[in-house]
A and B are shown apart, each in its own frame.
Chain A
Amino acid sequence: MIADEATLARLMVAGQKGDKSAYNVLLSEAGLWLERYFRRRVPPHQLDDLVQDVLLALHNKRATYDPERPFLPWLAAIARYRWVDHLRKVYKHESDLLGDNDAVEDSHEDAIAARVSLERLFVQLPKKQAEVIELVKISGHSVREAARRTGQSESLVKVNIHRGLKKLSALVEKAE
């Protein structure tokens, strides 16, 4: 069970003040939250790297958390930002598919987590852009394979990936 919003916010404030034990718990809990957050949006073998990347960003940017505001929307904004960055960097020919564990649903996902989820971000994209980003950047198919599956030309696949990632960047804070 991952700590709730109020607990995470309290731990973060303590961490900003230098409380190491609270900060250790915060990072562990945030790590679990991030694993669940990213689970369906990155291949399993990249999950740990991305979670660590966001934890490092959390640490480096911890001063930017405003104690008067909720913690999870702050963490989610950083997570989305790093995720879009990650998608840009993903090696396009990696072909590992998402495993069965990616289909696991979290029935107890709370309201805040739902509001800030990556799905909310993804559904803002036009279908053709979302489709090719899913295939190439998340499932690891080649551009050629994505073109074959979607009926788009290879150059259109590339253009749609480029446009989709650009739009995702612009939506990081907006899409609720």
Chain B
Amino acid sequence: MKPAKEDMIASLTEELEPVRAFNTRDGMALLAVAAALTFAGVLVFEGFWHGILTGEASAFFWITNGLLALLGLASAGAVIAMASPRVGNRFDAPVWLSAMMAVLPVSAMLSVMPQQHGLDAIVNDMYGMHCLTYSLLSTVLIGAALTAWLRRGATVSLNAAGWFTGIAAGSLGTLAYGMSCSIVSITHLGIWHIAPVVISAVLGRLIVPQLVRW
């Protein structure tokens, strides 16, 4: 039996302690630390591809990683804001950026489809699975940091929070890993550097809501 409302209010008032009010800068700082550690981990274990500095990186490299950065930041921004709920919150940017991102795998497929054995170039990409695996590993820290942030907050849009956490971790993790990858063709980048984002998004949707429900 719950106490009467007045008793409850008196009791909650009595136990009141000062709290640090929600601030998006705290969330951004947490994200920055997680992303920096992820980039550092990639540099230590996979190394830095110096072709980025010597002009060997193709336009596809810059487009893919630029879009990953934008999608990752937009999604992470949405996740950080979601910790403080509000009727009227809208998070359209990650949705539209995800749609833009889909152009890359479609372009990769369209570029090889007319060729005989064209799909083989994608399926038999000898570095594909390596990039997929290490990109996924690179998502873990960022995903964990964003989930911890959501757990501290009062997330009310659980499924959306799950999607955006997965997309943010997938995009930024793959971006970090991408600094070590020297394969710059659209068929490689458009498939093997986008697949981790999709897988991470699905994992985020499946796992995160269970962890942030309150």
Contacts and interface: CB of A to CB of B under 8 A. Distances in A.
Interface of A: 13, 15-18, 20, 23-24, 27-28, 31, 48-49, 51-52, 55-57, 59, 61-67, 69-70, 73-74, 76-78, 80-81, 115-116, 169-170, 172-176
Interface string B148-160: 0000111011111
B9 A27 contact: yes
Interface in B11-42: 12-14, 16-24
A74 B84 contact: yes
Given A27-B12, A55-B8, A78 B85 contact: yes
A66 B156 contact: no
B90 A174 contact: yes
B130 interface: no
B159 A173 contact: no
Given A48-B5, A52-B8, A67-B21, A173 B13 contact: no
Given A15-B16, A17-B18, 4 more contacts: A65-B21, A78-B85, A172-B85, A174-B90
B87 A80 contact: yes
B10 interface: yes
A5 to B, nearest CB: 13
Nearest to A84: B156
Interface of B is mostly: loop
B8 to A, nearest CB: 6
A50 B165 CA distance: 30
A16 B21 contact: yes
A15 B12 CA distance: 11
A173 B85 contact: yes
B86 interface: yes
Contact of A77 (B10, B17, B156, B159): B156
B117 interface: no
Interface string B82-119: 01111111100000000000000000000000000000
